[in-house]
Amino acid sequence: MSPRRCPAFLAFALAAVFLCMTPPAANAVGPTIVVDVGTGKVLDHKDAFQKWYPASLTKLMTAYVVFRQVRAGKISMQSKVTISPKAAKAPPSKMYFKAGSQLTLDDALKIILVKSANDVSVAIAESIAGSNSQFIAMMNAEARRLGMSDTTFVNANGLPGKGQSTTARDMAVLGVALHREFPHHRNYFALEAIRSGKKTYTNYNILIGRFAGANGMKTGFICSSGFNQVSSATRNGRTVVSVVLGAKDQEERANESARMLHRGFTASQIGKSSLAGLQPYGKNRKRIVDLRSSICSKEARKARYGGRDVEGRMVLNSAYIKPLKRPAKTVNVRLTGTVALTKSGKKFPVPKPRPDFAGSATASFAASSLKPALDVPAPDVPVPRQRPSL
């Protein structure tokens, strides 16, 4: 029988053509959400309560704790951050600063938010709270206070750790809080690049400078999470925050983040639920998703570079992301000096001066060598007090 006279054959052929012509679903990544910062309205979401590994999105909470401590007057942006032996041993991504190196908190924040340096994140935690465990307690106390009900932090950098998890909804809560509470610190999330010595590091968030109005916030990646991103943009005085979790590569992460931000600027807010009022959903949402087998297989690693140009540069096929036709705007970060440390990471104690040599200059030097008590939390953060160390 001729194919022309067979309705079943024609139906099958037309279906095959349609399937071949149908583009893949725009929302093919993991959980997503986009929120209006001013109104708190949720403008779009998918699997927003599904548990996920945060990866370096964790550093948003590290920054939030820092900002809270600065506002409370416990520290300043010029406070010293010391790289301890433990911090120096942190796995990459890192700056490879030697133990004893010191830098300002201001530069340390720029480094963790652009380069996502794990060694500097550990150093921030230790320098502010006296220990990683103390800082982690502060992070989780802040998460509870903000209502991040499905988030648990086990470190300050987002490296793989048992029990560490979040959701797209909770990361949106944190992103909105950062914009609402600390608008004067937005510049930390919008840096295009930093320069340390002779090396320049470009922000992994490639929307900055390429998506109209983009002004933050943070990317993250470990094999188990896939490629994550919290993004924000401001247009005509209105700011939206989007969260994308579990993209297969940097290109998909950027494209989907741009699409979600665009959705946020164009979607109607009429009848939309508030972020606080969005109710948990999802049958298996409490079971954390692990993408290691699909993201870090040999085939997946090879595929991530398959769509790049001959020089290995990303090719972004997005209607919303424009090429950066100028050099990235770069700010300098630097070490301020070094101090001698014991094997435990503490500063060598300054010998007490003998009575007959106790001049005012010597006494002043000894007093200035003491580490300030940075472990006192803000009044509404219930963190145990810790004795200051040398």
Give Cα separations from 272 to 17, 42, 192, 220, 256 (angstroms). 37, 6, 33, 29, 21
CA-CA distance, 229 to 259, in Å (whole number)?
13
Token pair of 65 as six digits: 């704790």
Strand, helix or coil at 174? helix
Positive or negative, the CA dihedral 260, 263, 269, 272 is negative
Is 293 part of the annotated catalytic residue set? no
Nearest CA-CA partner of 220 in 198, 243, 239, 236: 243
Say if residues 210 and 319 touch (Cβ distance below 8 Å).
Answer: no
Radius of gyration of the chain (CA): 24
CA-CA distance, 174 to 59, in Å (whole number)?
11
Is 59 part of the annotated catalytic residue set? yes
Within 8 A by CB and 6+ apart from 14, the residues are: none
Is 368 part of the annotated catalytic residue set? no
Say if residues 255 and 27 touch (Cβ distance below 8 Å).
Answer: no
- Ordered DSSP codes for 29-98: SS-EEEEETTT-BEEEEESTT--B--GGGHHHHHHHHHHHHHHTTS--TTSEEE--HHHHTPPSS---PP
Maximum distance among all Cα pairs of the chain, rounded to whole angstroms: 115
Q: Single out the catalytic residue among 93, 116, 165, 232.
A: 116
Within 8 A by CB and 6+ apart from 305, the residues are: 312
Say if residues 200 and 193 touch (Cβ distance below 8 Å).
Answer: yes
Give Cα separations from 218 to 78, 85, 149, 201, 372 (angstroms). 23, 26, 21, 15, 30
Q: Single out the catalytic residue among 41, 59, 110, 115.
A: 59
Which residue numbers are catalytic?
56, 59, 116
